[in-house]
Amino acid sequence: MFYYLLRLLSRIMQNKFFYLQFQMETGSKAFFGKKNDQKRNIVSFNAWDTVRKDMLILALKDMIENNIPGELAELGVYKGQSARLIHHYVPERKLFLFDTFSGFDENDIKVEQTFHGDNYNQFKDTNVKSVMQCIDPENDNVVPIAGMFPQSIPENFNHIFAFVHMDMDLYQPTIEAFRYFYPRVSRGGYMIVHDYSNIKWPGIKKAVNEFFQDKSERPVLMPDNGGSALIRKI
């Protein structure tokens, strides 16, 4: 009964405590230890996906504590909920946001339909302005990059990365993201791919398995909504 009440309390106070890891003091010196005494802000996230929130925060925490060099990136931003979480927890690093900001690209849909038929009219109800309003950045470190990936990559875009979060739903942009970011992710850095275990988006598992079949890393499956896969660069 006591454990149930603590879980319920942590769910109500989700801005301050993990849902499942309620015993961790996420903004305190006790949580960060001696390596980092900066108070971090954990903003609210989708109420139905607290496990995913916990996973992202723990990966970012590890990145900070181990001084993994590099910037942050998210591919597949939609309305900006996860980007908001990431930025406000690590506002001192650049966060690049890659998305069409207008739904799926027709060319990517054609590739997907070669092995999976579905309705791909989702995620059109967004734009850069509304995403930035959702994120409400603390500084100038949030950089939206609109367009079809990888064609949208700016010229002279020379960055290394410590954390890359992918939620692109389709095979083609996901495999292209791995091809681009994998060699640019620092050793010990994280690549997290949403929907690996989601039967609605089989292209994600196909892209991950194809790309990592000859790599040293192996995806670790997460129990969040949609089933993310976490890869840590060796």
Model pLDDT for residues 190-225, shown as the tens digit of each residue:
999 999 999 888 889 999 999 999 999 999 999 999
pLDDT in tens, 35-65: 555 789 999 888 889 999 999 999 999 999 9
CATH 3.40.50.150 fits 48-232, yes or no: yes
3-state secondary structure of 149: coil
Do the beta carbons of residue 225 and residue 49 sit within 8 Å?
yes
Domain segments of the chain: what residues?
A: 1-39, 48-232
Could you give phi then psi for residue 214, rounded to 5 degrees?
-115, 20
- What lies within 8 Å, CB to CB, of 186 at 6+ separation is 68, 69, 70, 160, 161, 162, 233
Q: Average pLDDT in the 89-110 region?
A: 84
User: What is the pairing mode between strands 95-99 and 142-146?
Assistant: parallel
Average pLDDT, the chain: 85
Q: In what order do the strands lie in the sheet with 95-99?
A: 142-146, 95-99, 71-75, 161-166, 185-193, 229-232, 220-221
User: Burial of 173 by CB count in 10 Å (0-12 exposed, 13-18 middle, 19+ buried)?
Assistant: buried
Q: Which residue has the higher pLDDT, 200 or 180?
A: 180
Q: Say if pTM beats, i.e. exceeds, 0.85.
A: no
